A = this chain, B = another copy of it.
Amino acid sequence: MNNVRLDQTIKGLAEIGLAQMVITDPATIYYLTGRWIDPGERLLALYMNSNGQNRMLINELFTVPEELGVQKVWYSDTQNAVALLAECIERDKPLGIDKNMPARFLLGLMELEAASGYKNASVCVDRVRARKDKNEAELMRRASRMNDVAIGMVAAKVREGITEEQLAAEVIAAYRCLGAEGVSFEPLIGFGANAAIGHHAPDQTVLREGDCVLIDIGCKKDGYCADMTRTYFYRSVPEKLREVYGLVQQANAAARAIIKPGVRFCDIDAAARNIIAEAGYGSFFTHRLGHSIGIEVHEYGDVSSVNENPVEEGMVFSIEPGIYLPDIGGVRIEDLVLVTANGCETLNCISRDLNIL
- Smallest CB-CB separation from A186: which chain B residue? B38
Closest approach, in angstroms, between the C-beta of A84 and any C-beta of chain B? 15
Interface string of A104-122 (1 = CB under 8 A from B): 1011100000000011101
A98 in the interface (beta carbon within 8 A):
yes
Interface pair B107/A77, CB less than 8 Å apart: no
- Please pick, from B60, B100, B103, B286, the residue contacting A99 in the complex, using a CB distance under 8 A: B103
Residues 60-94 of chain A, each 1 if its beta carbon lies under 8 Å from chain B, else 0: 11110000000000001110000000000000000
Contact of A103 among B106, B199, B288, B298 (CB under 8 A): B106
Q: Is A255 an interface residue (CB 8 A)?
A: no
Chain B's closest residue to A99 (CB) is B104
Which residues of B are found within 8 Å of A41, using beta-carbon distances?
298
Interface size band for A: 35 or more
A106 touches B106 (CB 8 A): yes
Q: Are B78 and A107 in contact (CB under 8 A)?
A: no
**Which single member of B60, B108, B286, B302 contacts A286 (CB below 8 Å)?**
B60
Q: Which residues of B contact A122 (CB under 8 A)?
A: 104
Q: A340 near B: Cβ within 8 Å?
A: no
Which residue of A41, A122, A286 has the most chain B CB atoms within 10 A of its CB atom? A41
Per assembly, the copies of the chain total: 2
Docked Cα-Cα span, A64 to B61, in Å, equals 39
Q: Which residue of B lies closest to A76 (CB)?
A: B286
Hey, which chain B residues are within 8 Å of A305, CB to CB? Answer: 78
Pick from B77, B99, B199: contact of A304, CB under 8 Å = B77
Question: How many Å lie between the Cα of A200 and that of B64 in the bound state?
Answer: 10
Contact, CB under 8 Å: A198 / B104: no
| A6: Cβ under 8 A from any B Cβ | no
User: By the criterion CB–CB under 8 Å, are A198 and B60 in contact?
Assistant: yes
A118 to B218, CA, bound (A): 38
Q: Evaluate contact between A107 and B102: CB separation under 8 angstroms.
A: no
- Option from B103, B197, B304 in Cβ contact (under 8 Å) with A100: B103
Question: CA of A40 to CA of B188 in the docked complex: distance in angstroms?
Answer: 14
Most buried by B among A119, A199, A288: A199
Contact A103 B120 (CB under 8 A): yes
Contacts of A199 in B (CB 8 A): 61-63
Residues of B within 8 A of A97 (CB): 103, 107
Which of A106, A298, A306 gathers the greatest number of chain B CB atoms within 10 Å? A106
Q: Which residue of B lies closest to A79 (CB)?
A: B306
A-B contact pairs, 9 of them (CB 8 A): A41-B298, A60-B198, A77-B304, A97-B103, A97-B107, A99-B102, A101-B102, A103-B103, A103-B106
Besides A63-B198, A102-B103, A104-B120, 6 new A-B residue pairs in contact (Cβ under 8 A), listed by A number: A41-B298, A63-B200, A76-B286, A77-B304, A98-B103, A100-B104
